[in-house]
Structure formats: structure tokens, C-alpha cells
Structure 1
């Protein structure tokens, strides 16, 4: 009996040990899967949803390329066209972070899940407008230029916390090259971002010169104000366009870029530092200050601009537009509207809205 009892105890102990080993292996497997798919089950403080098939994507391998783009309800077709042009023109492992507001989420998810973009990797992040309290004016006349989503680029590290480098894109763009090349833009040591200078050769002929001198700092900032004078910046310094940003997020965090941008937003609320001749952008001036002579440059063909300015886009030849790797319809005239230049290029990448809520306005059809 004694020997039998000993054998039973040994067997019980062996069984317990076996169960412990199995449990540990399962936990290790769970940890491994979480590392392989860190997006699964993550709850972010700013609310986020992930594409339903993100864990099934194995076709596009290699380093993830984080791309942040904003999605306003009235411009949702722009986001879809931009994403489609990126996805179709590259085999890179792109993961989109789409920053939007609550009322757009359902529409966006239907559009993505019921079209050829259903296999795109993405996460949807809800922007919190209260972030901007005390930083931008609530004057009704400023609502058009002070739309909350235009400031999402200020918070890149918060929305893509796992990345060391990322791309920010405005929604009114089309990419005709491989975004891997843009992602590999070299940033100089100590630089948190790269932009396209407004004096670069590729887009200079599209710049609308005149009121505001929109290709230099004096077009955006009031150099009569003491706070601006103290910075010692040259008024004729070439400005840059923040519609495309290559960001070193590690440097961005280390240099507290977000906090510094917010500081200048708050100071502008008190002292009105922006140029009165421009009256179009309250997003660009803080960036110009913080990144004054502290940014790298993007290849001009990776940001061909001004296609949305009156007559400016028409200065480009069709051959030049075809060769451009990234087209940007910055300005009043958008490619989904009646009066835009080269809207046919944009049309190639637009995917019709399965809900029927959004469709381009075309002069020849009379659609609206």
C-alpha cells in the first residue's frame, strides 16, 4: 500500500508538472502571437479600430510603413483615392492610420470593406477636438481653416506610438510612385521631419505669387510682432509645405515637437502672430517656427504641388504630371470638384462610394 501510494503521489505530481508546462507554453504562444500581431486587442486612449483582416495579411512583407491620413466626412472620397493610389502602386507593407471623427467611422468602414481596399491594413483613430481647447480660435469666421483634423499631424507620435518613423499625407494627394522610396527619404541627424521647400524647382512654377508671398515666411507670420522678431528668423526664408511629412518620431518625442507646436498655437491666441495677408492657414505657421532651418528636404518629384490653385496647375505639362511621383491638389480647387486641373488623373484612383453618399462633381455630367 505504501509503495502504491507513493506511485500515485508521483503520478499526480507528474500530471501537475505537465499541466504547468502546457499552461506556460500556451502563455508563451499567446505572447508570441501578440508580438506578431500587436494590434489585436489593443485599446488606445484615443479610441481606435483595426481592419478586420489585419491578422490575415501575409502577402506584403518587410518593414511596416506607417502612413497617417485624415478623413473628413465631406472629403472621404479623397482619402479613398489617396489610399488606393498608394496600395496599387507599391508592394510595400503599408499600414494606414486613419484619423477621423466619430460621425465618419461607419461610412469609412463600409467603403473600405466593400471595395478593392478590403485587404488594406489600417486602424481608425478618433480625433479628440478637446485637444485644441485654448489653442485655436472659436470664431465662426475661422471654422473653415480651424477644422480639428488639420491638426492631427501635430500629434503623430501619439497616434502611431509603436513606430520610429512615419509618413503624414494630406487627403488631396495621389501617389504615382512606390511609397517605399518616399519612406526611405534620408533625414539629417537631429532632424525630426522632412518637408518640401516651396522654392524647389519642381513646384516653383506652380506657386501663386503675389498677396502674402506664399513661398516664404513673411507670407505666414507677422514679423512686426515682438515674439516673432525675437526668434531672429529671416522673413524671406523659403517656406515649406506640410501636406507631406516624413517624420522621425523618436526625434519628435525627444525634442517635444508636439508641446512646442502647442506653445505657439497658444501664444498666437494671445498675440495674433500670423500674417494677415494669408488668412488661409493656421496649421502651417507653428510648423514653420518650430522647424525653422531644422528640417530635411523631400525630393521635389515626391511632392508636386499647387494643382488646386487657380491656373497654377495648368502650368504643368501632362508629361510632367505623369512623371511626378506624388501630386498634391493644395489650394481651393479639388480634383473631385468642377474646376480642378488634371482631375482625370485623380479619377483613375477614385473608387465609387458603395453607399452613394459621395461622388465627384463633374462639369461635363452636371453631377452634384
Structure 2
């Protein structure tokens, strides 16, 4: 209990500091006309759940596109430091294709996330990059999104081809805190390649009693939490963050997840907490798993119809090999510092 009170005090201090920084920046920045895209960038820190002290830190960043107007769109994007250059394609794509919306960019770097994850995340994983603290920022959205009724969360390996307003306006069913796209809505050729990774069997260890007692059919369709729309009030009312933390602790103690298949531990808690309690996104708003295999390609019809492309998986569009990298690369902005560069066959 003493440790919990200490953590709460730290969170409160960081939250107060974050509010101060945001108010300070707004007081010293000239307002922009609503008809133009505004890309102001601020620095800060994400302390597990809360943004705080100014200054860029090693470890990564979470970008929160924030604004005051009720009809503006708020988007949260997370990226590790070594992948920040890749997020420029995502940002450039929003600016060029959806420039009619006013966007305020607030960048927060990760410095203290590891402190808050200590004792909740096992270090063993087939994909260590999925254990990066920033992968868990999505658990704490209400602490980042303090003035908006809803937000869109996007992974850094996403390109939006449609009008983001349509995604933001997704109607959530009564009592649902979020909307996700089902993995069973993926093209049949992709599902065949992924096997059990489109079901709960691919993420939970059904040999464990705690998992079986959940009463979740192992063949139920999973979803990818790299893209979702969240209602902040419902999220807070249902104590979603607390539920997610509970399942992190349960896994740390009893190793409940199929880590050999799911790789990270950010997805299983969301699958458990939101099972049967989420609104389904239109499949065109999450054409995912483009990074699952360097050999499985989508049809031209699927790609043209897609409103959002997600290179979830090992094979990212800035690396090689990867499928459909040309769709991502046309939005890529080279890093002038040359710290980030594309990996291509002739490079």
C-alpha cells in the first residue's frame, strides 16, 4: 500500500506538471485559424501514464494530436526512439491528405515508463521490441486525454488513406468503451498465413486454469489493438485501465499468455478486458498485418478499398523485406539528421 501511495503521488505531480506545460505553451503561442493545419510540437515525458517534464529523452515518444475545439480530432501515436523517423510518414500523410482539420502536435518522450512497468512485464519474449514501455501507453489514455470525450489510438506503422473524420465519428454501442476491427475480417489468404494468430488461442495459454475460467472460446476472433477509437468517459467509468493492470499482474505471476506466439504482452490484456464488449470497426478501417509476412500480399482491390493500412508484424515498411512498402514510402519524409533511414535492397 505504501508503494501504491508513493506511485500515486508521483503520478499526481507529473500530471500537474503536464497541465502546467500545456497551459504555458498555449499562453505563449498565437492561435491558428481553424481552417489550417497547425503542427506545433512540444516536448515532455510519459511517466508510464502521464506526460510531464520538458525535454527530449531517450526511449521513444508518444504524439498526441490535441486541440480545444469539440469538432477537432485527437489522435495518439506511439513510437520508440529508433522508429520516430518512421512516424514522419504518418504525420506527413495526415498533413497532406487531411489538411482541412486543425492539428496540434504534442510530443512526449518516454523516460520513466520502465519504472511503472517494473513487476508487471516479464522480460522473456520472442519479440523484445513489443515489451517497449510505450506499447502500454494505450492502457492509460484517460490520463493523457483529459479534455476530450474520445480519441483515436494508432500504432506508428499505420497509414490512413481515408478521411480520418469518418473513423473518429464511429458510433460506439451503448456501454462500449472502444471500437476495434476483428482479425476474422482479414482477407482469407492472410488468415491462412496467420493461423491461430487470428483467435484467442494464439494469445492466451489455455493450459492455465485462470485462462479457462474466463469462459472465452479459444476459437473466438481476436482483434489488433494497434488501431482503435475510445470513449474516455466510458473507459473511466468501467475502470478499464485498472482491469488492464490487473491482467498484467496476473500474467507476471502466472505466465498466462502464449508469449511464443503473441510476442508481447500488451495485446492479451486488451483481448481479455474487451472480450464481447467492443464495437466492431468497418474492416476497411483496419487492413492490418501487412507486416506479418514478406510474402503474403493483399489484392489491389483490398488495398484500394482500404481506408487504413497497418504493417503490424515483424516486417515494417521502413525495413526490408516488406510487402506494399511503396504505399507507405510515398509519404516518407527523409530525416535531415540521417539518424533514421530506410532499409532497401540497394542500400
- TM interval, shorter chain, is 0.7 to 0.9
Structure 2 equivalent of residue 58 of structure 1: 34
Question: Residue 268 of structure 1: CA displacement?
Answer: 0.5
Q: 1:204 to 1:69 in 2, by over 3 A?
A: farther
Q: Is 1:86 matched with 2:70?
A: no
CA deviation map 1:21-73 (0-9, x unaligned) = xxxxxxxxxxxxxxxxxxxxx84179779698673343247712110001211
In the alignment, the residues of structure 1 paired with residue 329 and residue 127 of structure 2 have an alpha-carbon distance, to the nearest angstrom, of 31
In the alignment, the residues of structure 2 paired with residue 169 and residue 234 of structure 1 have an alpha-carbon distance, to the nearest angstrom, of 28
CA deviation map 1:226-270 (0-9, x unaligned) = 111221111111000101010001100001100100000001011
Structure 2 equivalent of residue 331 of structure 1: 313
Q: 1:133 to 1:162 in 2, by over 3 A?
A: same
In the alignment, the residues of structure 2 paired with residue 222 and residue 320 of structure 1 have an alpha-carbon distance, to the nearest angstrom, of 33
CA deviation map 1:80-114 (0-9, x unaligned) = 11111122222223444544325xxxxxxxxxxxx
* Counterpart mapping for 1:214-363 below 5 A: 214-311=197-294, 313-314=296-297, 316-363=298-345
In the alignment, the residues of structure 2 paired with residue 234 and residue 140 of structure 1 have an alpha-carbon distance, to the nearest angstrom, of 24
Provide the aligned length of Structure 1 versus Structure 2: 297
**Structure 2 residue matching 1:199: 3-state secondary structure:** helix
* Counterpart mapping for 1:203-214 below 5 A: 203-207=187-191, 209=193, 213-214=196-197
Q: 1:46 to 1:232 in 2, by over 3 A?
A: farther
Uncovered stretches (5+) of structure 2, i.e. residues with no partner: 1-15, 37-68
Contact 1:214–1:278 (Cα < 8 Å) also in 2: yes
Which structure has the greater CA radius of gyration? 1
In the alignment, the residues of structure 2 paired with residue 129 and residue 276 of structure 1 have an alpha-carbon distance, to the nearest angstrom, of 20
Contact 2:125–2:263 (Cα < 8 Å) also in 1: no
**Structure 1, 54-63 or 333-342: larger mean CA deviation:** 54-63
In the alignment, the residues of structure 2 paired with residue 279 and residue 62 of structure 1 have an alpha-carbon distance, to the nearest angstrom, of 37
Contact 2:294–2:315 (Cα < 8 Å) also in 1: no
In the alignment, the residues of structure 1 paired with residue 177 and residue 308 of structure 2 have an alpha-carbon distance, to the nearest angstrom, of 21
In the alignment, the residues of structure 1 paired with residue 239 and residue 109 of structure 2 have an alpha-carbon distance, to the nearest angstrom, of 24
Question: Residue 186 of structure 1: CA displacement?
Answer: 1.0
CA deviation map 1:193-216 (0-9, x unaligned) = 00010001x5443235466x0010
Question: Residue 276 of structure 1: CA displacement?
Answer: 4.7
Q: 1:170 to 1:231 in 2, by over 3 A?
A: same
TM-score for both structures, normalised by structure 1? 0.74
Q: What is the alpha-carbon root mean square deviation over aligned residues?
A: 2.5
